[in-house]
Each structure stands twice: as C-alpha cells, then as structure tokens.
Amino acid sequence: MIALDVSINSTNPKTQTIWSDCLKVIKDNVPNMTFNTWFAPIKPVDIKDDILTIQLPSNFFWEWIDEHFSSLLNRAIKSALGENGKIDYIIVEEKEIEEPKIHIPTINIINKETAKPEQPDFESDLNSKYTFDNFIKGEGNQLARAAAGAIADNPGGTSFNPFFIYGGVGLGKTHLIQAIGNTIKNKFPKHRVKYISADRFTVNFIDSLQSNKGNEFNNFYRSMDVLIVDDIQFLIGKEKTQDLFFHIFNAFHQSGKQIILSSDKPPKDLKGMDDRLISRFHWGLNADMQPPDLETRMAILYKKANDFGMTVSSDILEYIATNITSNIRELEGCLIKLLANISLSSKEITLSLAKSIVGEISTSKKVNIGIDLITKCVCDYYKVDENKLRDKTRKQEIVLARQIAMYLSKEMTKSSLKTIGLHFGGRDHSTVIHACNTIEKSVLTDNIIKDSINTIKSKIEISCS
Ligand code: ADP
Ligand code: MG
C-alpha cells in the first residue's frame, strides 16, 4: 500500500471493466448497505501484470476493508482476472470541504425588522441541522428514508398521507421527519410547514382554551400546508386534544395537505388512542425504523467522527459500534463524550478512553432500569399477568415470559442472580442461570424470540429514557 495525495487516472481501458466484474461478485456476497458504504466509494485506478490498483478514501477505510473483506476481495479479483489476480491499494484522502462542526442546538430568532415580507408570520420550529444529507441510510431505515424523500418532493401528492413512522428511541424519527420539513421549505418556500411534538401541541391547546383562544389555535393549524407531529403517542389519554386533532387531520386529508407523524409504536399498539384516529393512521404509509446493524453503526460513527473533525482509528470505532447497539443517539453521545475528553485535556483518543466512556454510558442506563419495569414490559408484550411470573405455573407461555424477564434483568440491570431470583417468586440463582442460558441459545436460533426480545428491550429503554 502506498499513500498518495493526487488521484491517478488510469490509461488502461480494462481497469473499469475488471473492477465492475469484481463488484458483481462482491454485490452478491454482502448486504446492500455494506456494499454502498464500503465498496461504492472505491475507485479503480490501474491494472498492470494482473494487479488491479484501487483507490480508497482514507486509512480508516483501508483498515476496515483489509480486516473484514480481504478474502472476499481476493475471491472477486481471482474470478475477474484468474488465479494470478491481485489487488493493490492506494489511499487518497479527500479533504473535507466543510469546516468540522459540532452540533449545537440552534435557537431560531426572527428579526422582525429585517424579515422579508414573504416570510411566514410564524415559527415552523424546524431545526435546520436535520437534513437528508446528514441522515445515514441503513437497512433499518430504508423504507422510511425512501418514502420521506418522495414526500419531500411532492408533499400531499403521494399516497403516503399520512406518513406515519414508528420505532424505538434514538433511531432517527425526529431527524427524518424534520428533514422532510426542511426540504419542503427549501423547495417550496410558500408552503406553510409546522413541526410540533404532540406533547407541546397538547400543552398549547390547553393554554389556548384557558385563554379563550381555542378557535385561533384550531385555525392556525388548519392554515398550514404541511403538519408534522412528533411522538404522537403523547396524545394517549388526552381525549380533548385527540378530538381536536381528529378534526384537523380530516381537514388536512380532505384538502390533500400533507400530514407527517412519528410514534414509538405502530398504530395498532397505541392503546388509549381514539379508534377513529388509529384507523386514519393506517390510511397512508406506515414505516418502521429498526435499530442499525453493525455495518450501519460503523458507517454512522465514521461519518459523524468526520463531521466532528475527529480522527478515530477503526479499532476504536469498531469497539464502540460493537458495544453500543441500541440506538444512534447513544453512538453520537459516545463520540461527543470522547471529543469533550480530548479537547479538555488534549488527550489522545485511545481504546481505553473509549472503553471507559462506553462503560459510563451503559452504567448510566442500567441505573434507571429495574427488574419491575422489565417484568412489566415483558408481561405487556406477552399479555400475561405479572403475578403468574412469580408463582409456580409451568405453562409454556408463562415459562417463556419468565425466562425472558430473568434474562433481560441479568442483561439490563446490575442486579445479582440472587436478587433476580427473589423477584421471580424467590427462585434459586441456578434457575436464573438456566433461564439466561436457555434464552441466549434461543436468540441465536429462533428469529421470533430474537425479534420479540429486541422489541421488549426498546420498550424498556423508551420507558426509562
Ligand atoms: P428519535 O426521534 O427516533 O428518538 P432522533 O431523530 O432524535 O431519534 O435521533 C437521535 C440522534 O441520532 C440525533 O442527533 C440524530 O441526528 C441522530 N441520528 C439518528 N438517525 C440517524 C441517521 N440515520 N443518520 C445520522 N444521524 C442519525
Ligand atoms: Mg424523537
């Protein structure tokens, strides 16, 4: 491998063809996301004596590819060039054009004096830091991202109305729905776009009633072209607000104006939400957001580290991506903590620093999660009575729920085996060990159990975040 600071243009016309042949083999062997992240950015440079030289954008890329895909690349080059085929790498760092930036929440201030006449007379409450450009695609958000793009191109004009996305905390729902709003505002400056969380919507509505401005509130929302309501689950139990929202929803839908909603669960699981609303949430498109897989987590860390202007070696990024698995907010939080640590003391980013930060993040989470909450979430999910988990029942579905609750208590809290056993009807610590082993095995072989556990985990995390 050699490092160059200029790009070489191949004179050999075979270069591109051979590389395309390699890409075909690679594409058949890796998921799309992996392909797009790690192979699409590679440029073929030259071919000489059965050696294809390819250009990678950074050292980090080279390390990752060399470690994870060298045998695949070998196979690919041999199938394209025959047994003597080999690959050589060069690294050409593409300089970031943008200044490194750290996300600091922006405060929107409207200057009335200088406001242009066509500027709307209200705050859309969108945060301009959320864009499609800085939203990283992965298997878990593919559908949601694609639909979001289509809506931003043609608000109200697709069958995705309402657009309803759901998923656990920190998976990018707010980012994505705000990116739609920001894009629409850029593309269609005359469109009135409003973003609000369901929580705030409720508070503002109640305020408006108390100050006899209920009509004004209603008319204000009806005057929008695009309405984005975040965390719609917060309307649960707020009957009056749901009723108002129902009428606003109908007015929007009838006049073909775009409604965009996010939620922590799919419409059918929104217990306590008006059935009329739930059925309307199904009218358009429901898209779920899943936790990112390892490749996507690596891509996110790599991109964000770059955005922050940080240089972090691949083994450190890999350590973080392997140990922080549940959501993107935590991945980002980990980088920010690393950044804070090194900028305060001009320390180097080392693996041991990364380990201690990852440790802190996991512990602070564990403090808030208790066995009772875990038991409740497991029982809600399997629709079984919590008391049954504590008594002697050996019915199959109860045993499964009990074992999962024990397994999650071991994994998500700092409780000892003895304490866990006590919570489940005074069972012995060896019963807890047996439960954990059984579930660990099932997770590896049974996708239904694996998915159920992931869903329950994200519910637990939402409940205590
Ligand atoms: P949610 O609303 O689902 O709880 P957020 O949209 O608030 O999650 O995302 C949490 C953080 O992670 C935000 O800072 C967001 O910018 C970032 N983030 C989430 N998904 C992505 C993604 N796919 N690409 C880049 N950043 C992301
Ligand atoms: Mg959110």
Distance (Å, whole) CA 392 – CA 420: 16
Distance (Å, whole) CA 425 – CA 427: 6
Take residue 402 and report the two structure tokens written for it: 């009990």
- Average pLDDT in the chain: 87
pLDDT tops 90 at residue 61: no
Ligand closest to 133 (CA) is: 1
- Residue spans of the domains in the chain: they are 2-91, 130-288, 294-362, 367-464
> What pLDDT, in 10s, does the model give residues 200-258?
999 999 999 999 999 999 999 999 999 999 999 999 889 999 999 999 999 999 999 99
pLDDT tops 50 at residue 5: no
pLDDT confidence of residue 33: 67
pLDDT grade for 7, boundaries at 50, 70 and 90: very low
pLDDT tops 80 at residue 368: no
Cβ neighbours of residue 391 closer than 8 Å, sequence gap 6 or more = 425
CATH node for 367-464: 1.10.1750.10
pLDDT tops 80 at residue 324: yes
pLDDT tops 70 at residue 60: no
Q: Whose CA is closest to atom 25 on ligand 1?
A: 135
Query: How would you list the strands of the sheet with 163-167, edge to edge?
Result: 193-197, 226-230, 258-263, 163-167, 285-289
Report the nearest atom of ligand 1 relative to the CA of 292.
23
pLDDT grade for 349, boundaries at 50, 70 and 90: confident
Tell me how far the alpha carbon of residue 312 lies from the centroid of ligand 2, in angstroms.
28
Report the nearest atom of ligand 1 relative to the CA of 328.
12
Report the nearest atom of ligand 1 relative to the CA of 303.
25
Tell me how far the alpha carbon of residue 61 lies from the centroid of ligand 1, in angstroms.
23
Among candidates 400, 388, 381, which has minimal Cα distance to 452? 381
Considering only the top CATH level, what class is 2-91?
A: alpha beta
Within 13 Å and on the Cβ side, how many CA atoms surround 48? 7
Average pLDDT, stretch 50-66?
Answer: 82
Report the nearest atom of ligand 1 relative to the CA of 175.
6
Q: Whose CA is closest to atom 9 on ligand 1?
A: 172
What one-character DSSP code corresponds to residue 108? -
Take residue 129 and report the two structure tokens written for it: 């830091």
Return the best residue to mutate from 233, 329, 461, 464 for the ligand 1 pocket (most ligand atoms within 8 A of CB): 329
Return the best residue to mutate from 127, 171, 262, 328 for the ligand 1 pocket (most ligand atoms within 8 A of CB): 328
Ligand closest to 131 (CA) is: 1
CATH architecture classification, 294-362: Orthogonal Bundle (1.10)
Q: Whose CA is closest to atom 19 on ligand 1?
A: 172
Tell me how far the alpha carbon of residue 264 lies from the centroid of ligand 2, in angstroms.
9
Q: What is the CA radius of gyration of the chain?
A: 26
Take residue 165 and report the two structure tokens written for it: 């996305």
Ligand closest to 462 (CA) is: 1
Average pLDDT, stretch 16-28?
Answer: 93
Q: Whose CA is closest to atom 14 on ligand 1?
A: 329
> What pLDDT, in 10s, does the model give residues 379-437?
999 999 999 999 998 999 999 999 999 999 999 988 899 999 999 999 999 999 999 99
Angle at 229 between CA 234 and CA 255, to 5 degrees: 130
Which residues' Cβ are closer than 6 Å to ligand 1? 134-136, 141, 169-175, 300, 328-329, 332
pLDDT confidence of residue 9: 56
> What pLDDT, in 10s, does the model give residues 117-153?
454 589 999 999 999 999 998 889 999 999 999 999 9
Tell me how far the alpha carbon of residue 133 lies from the centroid of ligand 1, in angstroms.
13
Tell me how far the alpha carbon of residue 287 lies from the centroid of ligand 2, in angstroms.
15
Report the nearest atom of ligand 1 relative to the CA of 138.
23
E strand or H helix at 260, and its extent? strand 258-263
Take residue 116 and report the two structure tokens written for it: 């242009």
Angle at 303 between CA 28 and CA 60, to 5 degrees: 70
Average pLDDT, stretch 35-56?
Answer: 88
Does the predicted TM-score (pTM) go above 0.85?
Answer: no
CATH node for 130-288: 3.40.50.300
What whole-number percentage of the chain has pLDDT above 90?
Answer: 61
